[in-house]
Amino acid sequence: MNRLRALTDQGQAIWLDYIRRDLLENGELESLIEEDGVTGVTSNPAIFEKAIGSSDLYDSEIQAALDAEPDISTEKLYERLAIRDIQLAADLLAPVFESTRGADGFVSFEVSPHLARDTDGTLAEARRFWREVDRPNLMIKVPATIEGIPAIETLLAEGVHVNITLMFSLAHYEAVAQAYLRGVTRASKPGNAASVASFFVSRVDSLIDAKLADCAGKRAEALTGRIAIANSKMAYARYLEIFHGAAFADLRAAGARPQRVLWASTSTKNPAYRDVVYVEELIGPETVNTVPPKTLDEFRDHGEVAPTLAGGLEGVRSELATLAELGIDLNAATEQLQEEGLEKFSVPFDRLLETLEAKTTTLAGAAAGTSAGTSE
């Protein structure tokens, strides 16, 4: 039995949280799609920083771009490289998109993290990426900031698929779900809208566990490693209320699809925890789990497949109540995590541009030296 494919029987899609040129050109992604049932790809600035900045896979393309346009900006060069990766991934996922009639088979590309507090800037860049990538199975990633919410609504109304990212709390989820409802209501063809709400998981435990460590007693110890799952289950319960209730009934009748919850940041950060805990504990219908290659391999090897997501809400509410009684403010913690998340994407984005600028200088110098040697 392929454990990854067994997740499909539970109604859950698995997306790969990784992209790199060799993955797209050597048949590896095709194999993951065909053999493991992977149905999507996500990317972010940190992933592109590792892919482009830490390899020579893109050097020939960088050189060709410099030859054709010596004054190209570093940011424009990055976009050209990244968009090509996104297009290749989208083409490989096109059969999934077509066979599911637009319900799956997406590849996600993020607007600049420096636009997270800029509604108009987010809209302009998202529209530009939508045009330049020119693939129907593209999803534009927009963070669930206060400024991002109106951009999300507008993009959905315009028919742009959106992956809403950096969600850590029920308040974040509520704002995103309501933006989806408003956006799809405004869309000329509600049935064409596609969106996922990316709810981050493991980082919640990383922060809350540190706070629990400062609390003495068995109650705090019992909550260690439990709050991220509890928080996620509450978000899924709210998803069921919204998208299987009256709020979505008319849109569903008009052909609109629910906005699936996507579990993000599902690699295990604490080595004391089971390496696939954030996959195993969040298995349920109409959801997506996006995992990095290591977690994908680990789940394929020894993951346990069972419907774990729904139910058990009484225990979940009890855990969250105990957390509050211990003086730990989950809402404040999740707001902190969103701010930190913006920085975690901004720093590698800036580092990528610095690395790329240094690489273009080196390649330009090498080309100049070769040219000088030839002329002699």
The catalytic site residues sit at 141
Q: What is the distance of C-alpha 237 from the center of its chain?
A: 21
Q: Determine the residue type at 129.
A: F
CA distance 309 to 280: 9
If you search the block for the tokens 């809208």, which residue do you land on? 193
- Residue 259 neighbours by CB distance under 10 Å: 26
Q: 123-156 burial, b if ≥16 CB within 10 A, otherwise e?
A: bebbbebbeebebbbbbbbbbbbebbbbbbbbbb
CA distance 208 to 61: 44
Cβ(159)–Cβ(187) below 8 Å: yes
Question: Angle 45-53/74-99 helices, nearest 10 degrees?
Answer: 110
- Residue 173 neighbours by CB distance under 10 Å: 24
CA distance 317 to 323: 10
Rounded to a whole number of angstroms, the distance between the first and last alpha carbons of the chain is: 65
CA distances from 218 to 104, 119, 212 (A): 44, 45, 10
Cβ(253)–Cβ(246) below 8 Å: no
Which burial class, exposed, middle or buried, applies to 233 when counting CB atoms under 10 A from its CB (0-12, 13-18, 19+)? buried
Q: Determine the residue type at 203.
A: R
CA distance 132 to 120: 18
**Structure-block tokens of residue 268:** 């295990």
